[in-house]
Amino acid sequence: MNTINEMTGRITGIPLVDLKAQYRAHREEFDRAVAKCAESARFIGGEEHQAFAAEFADYCGGGHVALCGNGTDALTLAILGLLGPGDGRAEIITVSHTFIATVEAIVSAGYRPRLVDIDPATYCMDPASLAAAVGKDTRAVVPVHLYGRMAPMDAIMEIAGKNGLSVIEDAAQAHGAAWKGKGPGQWGDAACFSFYPGKNLGAWGDGGAVFTGNSALAARVAMHADHGRSGKYRHEFLAVNSRLDGLQAAILRVKLRHLDDWTVARNRVAAWYGERLAGLPGVTIPAADARGDARHVYHLYVVRLMGKDRDGVLEKLRRCGIGAGVHYPLPLHEQPALSHLGMAPGDLPHTHKAAGEIISLPMYPELTEDQVDRVAAALGKAVG
127 and 171, same domain (yes or no): yes
Distance between CA atoms of residues 118 and 153, nearest Å: 14
Distance between CA atoms of residues 69 and 357, nearest Å: 33
250 and 268, same domain (yes or no): no
Q: Residue 9: pLDDT above 70?
A: no
249 and 283, same domain (yes or no): no
Q: Is residue 15 part of a domain?
A: no
Q: Domain containing 326 — which CATH number? A: 3.90.1150.10
What phi and psi, each to the nearest 5 degrees, are found at residue 115?
-100, 135
Q: Is residue 76 part of a domain?
A: yes
In this prediction, residue 6 carries a pLDDT of 41
In this prediction, residue 291 carries a pLDDT of 77
Task: Give the DSSP H/E element, type plus range, for residue 93.
Answer: strand 91-95
Structural contact between residues 114 and 93, judged by C-beta atoms closer than 8 angstroms: yes
Last residue of a domain, one of 192, 227, 256: 256
Distance between CA atoms of residues 377 and 298, nearest Å: 21
251 and 263, same domain (yes or no): no
231 and 378, same domain (yes or no): no
Structural contact between residues 193 and 145, judged by C-beta atoms closer than 8 angstroms: no
Pairing label, strands 11-12, 3-4: antiparallel
The per-residue pLDDT for range 99-115, each reduced to its tens digit, is 999 999 999 999 999 99
Of 277, 284, 299, give the one whose Cα is nearest residue 353: 284
Last residue of a domain, one of 227, 256, 285: 256
- Model pTM score: 0.95
- Percent of the chain, pLDDT > 90? 93
359 and 283, same domain (yes or no): yes
The per-residue pLDDT for range 268-308, each reduced to its tens digit, is 999 999 999 999 999 999 998 867 889 999 999 999 999 99
Q: Is residue 9 part of a domain?
A: no
Q: Is residue 146 part of a domain?
A: yes
Q: What is the 3-state secondary structure (H, E, C) of 180-194?
A: CCECCCCCCCEEEEE
Longest dimension (CA), the chain: 66
Q: Domain containing 134 — which CATH number? A: 3.40.640.10
Q: Is residue 145 part of a domain?
A: yes
149 and 214, same domain (yes or no): yes
35 and 83, same domain (yes or no): yes
Last residue of a domain, one of 240, 256, 272: 256
Q: Is residue 19 part of a domain?
A: no
In this prediction, residue 8 carries a pLDDT of 36
Q: Residue 10: pLDDT above 70?
A: no
109 and 161, same domain (yes or no): yes
Q: Which domain holds residue 141?
A: 25-256
Q: Is residue 1 part of a domain?
A: no
Structural contact between residues 189 and 82, judged by C-beta atoms closer than 8 angstroms: yes
242 and 264, same domain (yes or no): no
- CB-side exposure of 39: number of CA atoms within 13 Å? 7
In this prediction, residue 205 carries a pLDDT of 96
In this prediction, residue 39 carries a pLDDT of 92
C-alpha distances in Å from residue 221, one per residue of 64, 100, 228, 309, 371: 11, 22, 9, 45, 43
Structural contact between residues 294 and 149, judged by C-beta atoms closer than 8 angstroms: yes
Distance between CA atoms of residues 260 and 295, nearest Å: 12
Q: Residue 7: pLDDT above 70?
A: no
Q: Is residue 229 part of a domain?
A: yes
The per-residue pLDDT for range 123-171, each reduced to its tens digit, is 999 999 999 999 999 999 999 999 999 999 999 999 999 999 999 999 9
Is the C-alpha dihedral spanning 279, 127, 151, 334 positive or negative?
negative
Of 208, 210, 188, give the one whose Cα is nearest residue 125: 188
104 and 41, same domain (yes or no): yes
In this prediction, residue 289 carries a pLDDT of 80
70 and 126, same domain (yes or no): yes
The per-residue pLDDT for range 78-88, each reduced to its tens digit, is 999 999 999 99
Count of the separate structural domains present in the chain:
2
